Amino acid sequence: SQQGEEDPQALSIQEGENATMNCSYKTSINNLQWYRQNSGRGLVHLILIRSNEREKHSGRLRVTLDTSKKSSSLLITASRAADTASYFCATAVFIVGFYFGSGTKLNVKP
């Protein structure tokens, strides 16, 4: 399967702390994307990192990509209660498609 796997499956932290989620995948990719899902609704695109990039920032988000290890991490700094959601990584493989991991459920306690 080309699907990625997130780790941990669930994460509970206090507001203000940093949250780190990891994603591993199996095949070569064109890019890797992180998405957020609130309460089982549609997904919202957070950030995209291309296969030739190693790190990318967007606001409080920091994504790293290690293609040699086929892994990525998403760091949310200074988390807020509103960050409580499920976070998914998705790998884009040209011609083949777009595959999601199993997700990390983040709970940020006020």
Binding site for other proteins (CB under 8 A): 3, 30-31, 33, 35, 40-45, 48, 50, 88, 90, 92, 94-103
Which CB sits closer to other proteins, 18 or 58?
A: 58
CA atoms within 13 A on the CB side of 20: 4
Q: How far is the CB of 54 from other proteins (least distance, A)?
A: 17
Distances (CA, A) of 104 to 2, 28, 93, 94: 18, 22, 22, 25
- Closer residue to other proteins in complex, CB, 59/97: 97
Please, what is the minimum distance in Å from the beta carbon of residue 86 to other proteins?
A: 9
End-to-end CA distance of the chain: 38
Look up residue 2 and give its two tokens.
Answer: 């080309």
Kindly state the smallest distance separating residue 16's Cβ from other proteins, in Å.
Answer: 28
Q: Please report how close the Cβ of residue 98 comes to other proteins at its closest, in angstroms.
A: 6
Query: Which CB atom, from 19 or from 87, has the smaller least distance to other proteins?
Result: 87
Distance in angstroms (rounded) separating the CA atoms of residues 62 and 5:
19
What are the CA-CA distances from residue 64 to residues 35, 40, 42, 82, 92 (Å)?
15, 26, 24, 23, 16
11 versus 90: smaller Cβ distance to other proteins: 90
